[in-house]
Amino acid sequence: MKKKRIIRDDRIKEVLDILEGMHPEAMCALDHGSEFELLTAVVLSAQTTDVSVNKVTPALFARYPSPEALAAADQSDVIGIIKTIGLYKTKSANIIKLAQKLTSDFGGRVPDTFEELVSLPGVGRKTANVVLAEAFGKPAIAVDTHVFRVANRIGLTDEKDVNATEDSLKERLPESMWIRAHHLLIFHGRKVCHARRPDCESCGLKDICLNNGGTK
């Protein structure tokens, strides 16, 4: 079996401290005012930017402020509101079905367990983990493209898929840091550790990052 190429356990706190120093403002970038709005926004954010989602959700939530209201929505009207984001046809159908299930099965509330969340239309593992962490403060690590790329590039993990990366991060990081690490890795991926041209020279991790020749 190939040996994992990862940063030593005793350097993980140092990595997180450096990321904290670089991105103290790291937080959920999706604008929301309730658990329902957060859940809907995360579903809409798949394969598009949070900035794009934030441009359409004010009008969406003004027109459909509750699961009950969205459950009764006409899909063409929802499409008209969110059509500037990617996959708007699929997403419009999903958030209406999601609202219908919230209304029929959960009394209009957003459930707070992983199993219940992933039973909702359009909700996968990443979305469920975001909602658990952000809405309910439950320890979870949502692995999106940024978290996957950065964690494996710098050497926090050495995995080939998203689920394995999530499991590895949960094993290696203190549970108390799961939520914070999620935000820090996302911000680092957006601002410094870009997919094509990472800004290694300005990165505080350049002497630790295994991709940059750092020491374990």
Which residues are catalytic, by number? 126, 144
Amino acid letter at 153? R
Residues 6+ away with beta carbon under 8 Å from 210: 5, 6, 7, 153, 154, 155, 216
Residues 33, 75 contacting (CB under 8 angstroms): no
Q: Which of 89, 90, 95 lies closest to 71, judged by CA?
A: 95
Residues 154, 208 contacting (CB under 8 angstroms): yes
Alpha-carbon distances, residue 42 vs 19, 28, 53, 127, 203 (angstroms)? 24, 10, 9, 6, 28
Angle at 65 between CA 62 and CA 69, to 5 degrees: 115
